Amino acid sequence: MTTSATTTMTTSAVHTLGASLHANPAIEAAIATIRRELAQTQHQLTGARAGNVQLKLSLDEHLARATEVRGRAPLYPYIGSGLGNGALVELLDGSVKWDLINGIGVHMFGHGDGEVIEASIRASLSDLVMQGNLQFNSDAIEFGEFLAHEAARTSRLKHCFITNSGCMANEAALKLCQQKTNAAPRIIAFADCFMGRSTTMSQIGDTAAYRQGIALNIHVDYLPFYDATQGARSIEATVAQLEQLIHRYPGQHCCLIAELVQGEGGFHTAPREFFVALFEAAKKAGIPVWDDEVQSFGRTESMFCFERLDLGQYIDVVTVGKISQACACLYTADFNPRAGLLSGTFAASSSAFATGLCMLRRLQSGGYYGRDGRIARLFNAYQTCAQAFVAKHPEWFPAVITPSGSPMASVIGGTGGMMRLTPFGGNRERIGKLLAHLFEDGVIAFSCGHGPYHLRLLPPVGVMTPEQFVPVFEIMEKSFARTN
């Protein structure tokens, strides 16, 4: 046998010690045992229930500690016990609640999913707790490759920079756009947008409270988002305003930022022709188009929302996060930056890469997308329950007046896993009371919008079933009655 042949045979039979550890039969057996014990315990969580009086003392103690260390009380008296079952979560007081906000959309596969926990356990064997720009393992490459490949199917996007939050992904996107436009100082964004809470992103986001006391040094020009009550006139008005900005500040805009589904702004949607008209005007003026999908990513009828609207040809930069566990900024070859612009000590934890890939692969191959996919069917079930609820209790759903002065087209809105309901005419105070009552009664939800305000639902679309909206709306009826 020749030396080269011997080398080839030896190499093919060799594995790293790391690979041997991860394939160890004892570890496989231990993981199987953990999953079995987990499932047996989870089966006891079948619906919402009140807490235990004795356990409430422990919850109160932890809430006091959280308040002391943070300097202010948490938004909700939520401290988990560490156990959940899909859309249900157990809190430290023993209560069980339907979680329809999921950390504002992070936990798409709910609480205690067996496959996700297994992925996390396997990742815990990694030598790296956190991976970053300088040291990373193959799972970081696989994560970036997955996102880049999915994006490239229907767009010009090619490269992926991974970072540890949606806000930092947005910071990276802004850097790319500024470098591409030679530091053009102005930004175009939509009214009611939300970008994150860094100093820069707080200034771009259209919420005054988030930039209170911050030095303002970012020039932002806001466009009105699509108004369904105005239809084609809304498109014409917004395009006219964009062209006016381009004329007023020629060559001064580094990007046009668009949430294809507004998140905190109120789960507003817009038709394809709205974005096409704006993106074509921006492209004509040499303004890069940045698609912010940190909240909408994975939740509509396609993994990327731009794919659902067939807008890929216009997108230069896209940011994703939340359900992906690790966050990312993707960009075309033309936007590939010069050395030094993008980096980071932390990209994500090894468990974030493992669980993120687990979820993304399930979404890709599990029948979630398309007009008849699991996400679409879940939204249809929500709509059906919501329509019956509104019809039964019209007193809770008076006409809602939009900022344009027209009545809102419907008090039920959203798309995919982003669901909206607008009670009490969009009154902020009453919706705040409703959220507190919902939490007490067994449903965790949140608000969105800036006037009118809305009830925001981000259910765990990876695991929630259409039938589970029935007990949710039964609780909602009780909570609404207490609020009215």
Q: Stretch 12-25: mean pLDDT, rounded?
A: 86
Q: What is the pLDDT of residues 322-333, one digit of tens each?
A: 999 999 999 999
Q: Pairing between strand 289-293 and 317-320?
A: parallel
Q: 5 falls in which pLDDT band (50, 70, 90)?
A: very low
pLDDT at 484 over 80: no
8 A C-beta contact, residue 271 and residue 311:
no
Q: 86 falls in which pLDDT band (50, 70, 90)?
A: very high
CA distance 254 to 90: 46
Q: 10 falls in which pLDDT band (50, 70, 90)?
A: very low
CA distance 279 to 300: 21
CA distance 121 to 137: 16
**What's the gap between Cα 458 and its chain centre?**
9
Q: What is the pLDDT of residues 284-302, one digit of tens each?
A: 999 999 999 999 999 999 9
Q: What is the pLDDT of residues 371-398, one digit of tens each?
A: 999 999 999 999 999 999 999 999 999 9
For residues 406 and 433, the model is more confident at 433
Query: Cα Rg for the chain, rounded, in angstroms?
Result: 24
Domains along the sequence of the chain with CATH: 124-365 (3.40.640.10), 374-483 (3.90.1150.10)
pLDDT at 223 over 50: yes
- The whole-number pLDDT of residue 13 equals 59
CA distance 431 to 138: 46
- Contacts within 8 Å (CB) and 24+ apart, 383-391: 383/412, 385/469, 385/470, 385/472, 385/473, 386/412, 386/419, 386/421, 386/473, 387/412, 388/473, 389/473, 389/476, 389/477
**What's the gap between Cα 254 and its chain centre?**
25
- The whole-number pLDDT of residue 402 equals 85
- Percent of the chain's residues with pLDDT above 90: 93
- The whole-number pLDDT of residue 8 equals 43
pLDDT at 418 over 60: yes
Q: What is the pLDDT of residues 309-323, one digit of tens each?
A: 999 999 999 999 999
pLDDT at 7 over 90: no
pLDDT at 61 over 60: yes
pLDDT at 446 over 70: yes
pLDDT at 80 over 50: yes
Q: Stretch 247-266: mean pLDDT, rounded?
A: 96
Share the mean pLDDT of the chain. Answer: 95
E-assigned strands of 354-421? 412-415, 418-421
| pTM of this structure | 0.94
